[in-house]
Structure 1
């Protein structure tokens, strides 16, 4: 699956938003702070705002997180660089509840070139929808929020889209954190089944919830019935191939398939659908949706992509499994 295939499955502004947030390159976490600010402004009904107002929302969203950045050139940052100013003004800005004038000046100056110019980019080009345009010059610049952004902000998936952004931010943030990033990026993640949270494989540090991390790659739809995961409906994380298989096979010689507790086999569903499915084997349509979901995750940056790559690479020692459709077919044969 390409990013174009992901969009074709749901040709909407929501899909474009997910391409930017979930599939965009993440050398820094600026994109998530801008996304948070854009959603908040659009949800308030704004269609045009001064750049300085957007910069204020952006700066505070950034300060509300740990916001570590990818290592490499921090020592080369100048005294007026946004990251330098943010570090120096963080405590006072948080005490005030709004950015200090110095931080706001730095955000307003840097945000157009540092993040706004690149927000719509993803691995394969630019998103089909644009969410804003910048007009004017100097202190009189304004940000025109597009109708597409209004559709996203007013969507029935509003809560879910915010949770997806927060989860992706947490994953990237954790991969940048000192001492944790290497294992996340090189080895991927694991899942704590007791809390249904993604965690660092070695340090067992919680990163974010499984449901929030993968729902966007399912277009916010239930894996079982394929209907929207409305914010008022309870959800669950489903083992697509039931976990009971590993216990069942253990009593007759051992389970010969891949780990069913891993990310590749976990999908978000309505709690009612999940309860009714129980321990039955997945239907063909569910396997098709799982293959597409996993292919979509493979189009996202690390560490989720790394985790699924390891699963494919280790599925059949000495033999290459080309894609998720073939992989799921192999698992089905083991179960049969």
Structure 2
């Protein structure tokens, strides 16, 4: 199954504006982090009740969010910046001053207005050449910062929904993962080794540098449509959440008392899923039900449609324990694990 087909399957499970939003944020290609800054600005302005804004007004939170992030992490792969008028080059000159002022400098604002329509806004709704199921804005005709950006009903429903805070948190987690990929060097450690999970903090970590990147829950819960893997209900804001070992971790201990556990490592990303605290407590150490395995397979398949490094992480975890990832996919992998204990 191709990444596009995996994304289409994700959307089919919940053909809503939220699913289209998550496809854009979680599954789109990441040559730079511009789309995350655009998503942040869209959620902020639409959440304030705006139905439309000028391009210049959109460029203000867009540019400031990039300035804030650029002080701590790279916003593009090393060496990708262009000439003196390239947005990232201007950001390097004017970002710190903009943060001190609390608004973009004239130079940074002009660079954002110039680059947004072509570099970012034309690409936000496309996923590997395929259009999303929903559009979130329409850019009016003309040139310059006075051009109108009209927010669609789909964006207003996303930004005004109960899940809006969670969508913002998911976006932030994905942004940090991509920044770390740029910092480490795509094609080197993250691609070769993927990410691991710190069992104590439940943070995704860079295997080579052993540094925390993003908490597991906001990094993956969007691929579950922000639903509890166990009961399949939406996890509402403020609800107590735990990360469930879908196949209980105790299996490794039980088998270890007699002979080595013959299955895959159960402490890895493929087997960890956010769930309601109450659901996780009630489940205890029981084996997963068929419906839970179906949801886990669907979640892992959705992650496989995202760019590196999460996709690579699951590819490695599947191939080291179950052969080629294309041979039956996640449903076959999970059936094979269950066959070991039933």
- TM bucket normalised to smaller: over 0.9
* Cα pair 2:77 2:186 within 8 Å, conserved: no
Query: Which 5+ residue runs of structure 1 have no aligned equivalent?
Result: none
Aligned to 1:116: 121
SS in 1 for 2:321: coil
Aligned to 2:245: 239
Aligned to 1:83: 88
Output the CA distance in 1 between the equivalents of 2:326 and 2:104. Answer: 53
Output the CA distance in 1 between the equivalents of 2:306 and 2:328. Answer: 18
Aligned residues: 334
* Cα pair 2:250 2:285 within 8 Å, conserved: yes
Output the CA distance in 1 between the equivalents of 2:150 and 2:186. Answer: 39
Task: Tell me if 1:69 matches 2:73.
Answer: no
CA, structure 1 residues 272+138, in 2 after alignment: closer, same or farther (shift >3 Å)? same
Counterpart of 1:21 (choices 25, 29, 50) is 25
* Cα pair 2:322 2:333 within 8 Å, conserved: no
* Cα pair 2:27 2:127 within 8 Å, conserved: yes
In terms of mean alpha carbon deviation, does 2-11 or 277-286 score higher?
2-11
Output the CA distance in 1 between the equivalents of 2:158 and 2:48. Answer: 12
Counterpart of 2:319 (choices 313, 323, 327) is 313
Aligned to 1:141: 147
Following TM superposition, by how much is the alpha carbon of 1:138 offset from its aligned partner in structure 2, in angstroms?
2.0
1:296-323 CA-to-partner distances (Å, cap 9, x unmatched) read 1111100000011112211235997421
Root-mean-square deviation (CA, aligned residues, Å) is 1.5
Aligned to 2:289: 283
1:97-141 CA-to-partner distances (Å, cap 9, x unmatched) read 111111001111111101001001113601110000110312320
Task: Tell me if 1:193 matches 2:194.
Answer: no
1:220-267 CA-to-partner distances (Å, cap 9, x unmatched) read 100000000101211111100001111111001111100100000001
* Cα pair 2:67 2:99 within 8 Å, conserved: yes
Output the CA distance in 1 between the equivalents of 2:234 and 2:314. Answer: 25
Aligned to 1:92: 97
Following TM superposition, by how much is the alpha carbon of 1:96 offset from its aligned partner in structure 2, in angstroms?
0.8
* Cα pair 1:191 1:198 within 8 Å, conserved: yes
Output the CA distance in 1 between the equivalents of 2:325 and 2:106. Answer: 60
After the TM superposition, which parts of structure 1 deviate over 6 Å for at least 4 consecutive aligned residues?
none
Task: Tell me if 1:225 matches 2:231.
Answer: yes
Aligned to 1:255: 261
* Cα pair 1:31 1:115 within 8 Å, conserved: yes
Output the CA distance in 1 between the equivalents of 2:334 and 2:178. Answer: 28
Query: Which 5+ residue runs of structure 2 have no aligned equivalent?
Result: none
Output the CA distance in 2 between the equivalents of 1:261 and 1:34. Answer: 35
Output the CA distance in 1 between the equivalents of 2:84 and 2:293. Answer: 53
In terms of mean alpha carbon deviation, does 32-41 or 131-140 score higher?
131-140
Output the CA distance in 1 between the equivalents of 2:200 and 2:7. Answer: 33
TM-score (ref. length: structure 1): 0.96
Output the CA distance in 1 between the equivalents of 2:124 and 2:242. Answer: 31
CA, structure 1 residues 52+307, in 2 after alignment: closer, same or farther (shift >3 Å)? same
Following TM superposition, by how much is the alpha carbon of 1:278 offset from its aligned partner in structure 2, in angstroms?
1.0
Aligned to 1:126: 131
Counterpart of 1:331 (choices 317, 329, 337) is 337
Output the CA distance in 2 between the equivalents of 1:291 and 1:3. Answer: 14
Output the CA distance in 2 between the equivalents of 1:82 and 1:277. Answer: 50
Counterpart of 2:272 (choices 263, 266, 280) is 266
TM-score (ref. length: structure 2): 0.94
Output the CA distance in 2 between the equivalents of 1:315 and 1:14. Answer: 34
SS in 2 for 1:137: coil
* Cα pair 1:224 1:269 within 8 Å, conserved: yes
